[in-house]
A and B are shown apart, each in its own frame.
Chain A
């Protein structure tokens, strides 16, 4: 039997296609279908078509709006901290040259630590009174008493506190990827700019950042997506509390579905969440990436 190249390629793609169709595309179809029905998790066969009601209800719900805003804030907090710290570390490694190798090895260490371990560990360190973080702060004279800051109990603070394990785990990722990018910038370009009289800051702004743009795009988008989708790290620390103050969208959707059994409404919110993710990351991709290519 002779296979043509075309049918051979299709045959190779077939198993993975079938799998993704059955376990990714089909669930997404079910999700979108369910978003137009009133379905209870306890009696999934009794479904009532309600049109766009679930969507209207979700968009009008202040709790959904608040958790959408929280998702955005959480992502921005985590992403800003990771990017600033990670970029600083990458520049430091780059300045150190070969001597940074051991450092980078140590730095790579938290890369793969399970998210729930990171969440639990930070929860443990942030307990009021007995947590080590407050004790260190008290020792340094920053706070008067170890019960002064209630990291996970204060509604105004909790969104920052739940971002800490995320920042701890992934700053190294950002740093190492940006470092790889910096290493790939031809040193002649930097030298040439310096000979032309550019200062360190100018070299950074005019040469380093533009050339690093594609790598920055990859890092920001990947990290942004992962932070926005976060579930386990926050769930393990607060389950969305206190009084919903750390309830981001994925936790809200989970709770709406499992705790309250509103499959229809949870599906509508999940669909909106997904559309927003695709839109925001496409915009981010085209602005960061697109600018770079039009300049060069």
Chain B
């Protein structure tokens, strides 16, 4: 297909406009974060910093609660990743390899959990965590986050495992490997790439989660999004610090997304669309 020069010019102009509108908000966020704090609310607002200053970043040093919240988020996201992947690997293997009614039922049940508004589960989860003594603990929040990621991880892993040739395990079984041996020695190593991608998804789902953290944590294990949302001084919202915190908080997300661009779509559609 050959297009004329005019057609191409229109196409690229269109693309340029879309990109500007699209990338602009985040660029403005980063730009504001490296302005001196008072310039965040300058009238009129400027697109680029007139003066560069990292005060919005250094000031975070004065807020130990906020600093700790990043640590809490990391611990909770790691815990939730271990729990979800540990539970999802065997389940996904069963679903991908053995066509049983239980597997099918499970896949549908996992899909239905996506329809549940988190706020519905959140209310009773609070009561359950309280009776287990897990309110305001890393484990309690991580378990709550895993209710979102276990179904996601099962769907994703099942779609990865389906692409592994059956001949691999059959050969191992003939050589005297047990059923569990085949899972641990053959499937898990071969599916390592898919498991890594799934783990990143689960980590980010926990890192980004807001409502369960809000319900289940107070001062002890407050996560980063809650600390950022609550970050108000006696003078109201400090927009300068808000922008630097937002940049820091979204940083790992952006790095991970760039690392696994191709798989993002598969993850976000629970494997329904392969990118």
Contacts and interface: CB of A to CB of B under 8 A. Distances in A.
B154 to A, nearest CB: 7
Interface string A254-293: 1001100001001100110110011001000000000000
Nearest to B130: A44
Q: How large is the interface on A (under 10, 10 to 19, 20 to 34, 35 or more residues)?
A: 35 or more
Interface of A: 3, 5-6, 8-13, 15-17, 19-20, 22-24, 26-28, 30-31, 34, 44, 89, 92, 95-97, 103, 105-117, 120-122, 124-125, 129-132, 135, 146, 168, 171-173, 176-177, 180-181, 215, 218, 222, 225, 228-229, 231-232, 235-236, 249-250, 253-254, 257-258, 263, 266-267, 270-271, 273-274, 277-278, 281
A97 B1 CA distance: 10
Contacts of A117: 29, 246, 249-250
Contacts of B42: 130
Interface string B115-146: 11111111111011000000000000001101
Nearest to A112: B257
What 5 pairs across the A-B complex have the smallest Cβ distances?
Answer: A30-B124, A232-B210, A12-B94, A27-B124, A16-B91
Kindly name the residue among B124, B125, B275 whose own CB sees the greatest number of chain A CB atoms within 10 A. B124
A6 B273 CA distance: 30
Task: Provide the main secondary structure of the chain A interface.
Answer: helix
A70 to B, nearest CB: 14
Contacts of B19: 103, 106-107
B103 A116 contact: no
Contacts of A168: 22, 25
Contacts of B257: 108-109, 111-112
Given A9-B102, A112-B204, A20 B22 contact: no
Nearest to A217: B272
Given A28-B120, A114-B253, A177-B273, A23 B22 contact: no
B149 to A, nearest CB: 11
Contacts of B123: 27, 31, 34, 253, 257, 263, 266-267, 270
Interface in B189-225: 204, 207-208, 210-211, 215, 225
12 contacts: A16-B150, A27-B125, A28-B124, A31-B123, A109-B257, A120-B228, A124-B242, A132-B28, A218-B273, A232-B210, A254-B122, A254-B211
A20 B150 contact: yes
Nearest to B91: A16
Contacts of A232: 210-211, 225
Contact of B117 (A17, A22, A267, A273): A273
Contacts of A270: 117, 119-120, 123
Given A95-B11, A115-B208, A13 B273 contact: no
A277 B116 contact: yes
A231 to B, nearest CB: 5
Given A107-B19, A225-B115, 4 more contacts: A13-B95, A20-B150, A135-B44, A250-B119
Nearest to A119: B229
Tell me whether chain B's interface is mostly helix, strand or loop, or mixed: helix
Of B28, B42, B86, B208, chain A has the most CB atoms within 10 Å of the CB of: B208
Contacts, number: 243
A27 B88 CA distance: 20
A19 B146 contact: yes
A116 B275 contact: no
A277 B179 CA distance: 40
Given A108-B261, A270-B117, A27 B243 contact: no
A274 B122 CA distance: 13
Contact of B120 (A20, A31, A96, A235): A31
Nearest to B270: A222
A3 B180 CA distance: 10
B94 A13 contact: yes
B154 A254 contact: no
B264 interface: yes
B166 interface: no
A6 to B, nearest CB: 7
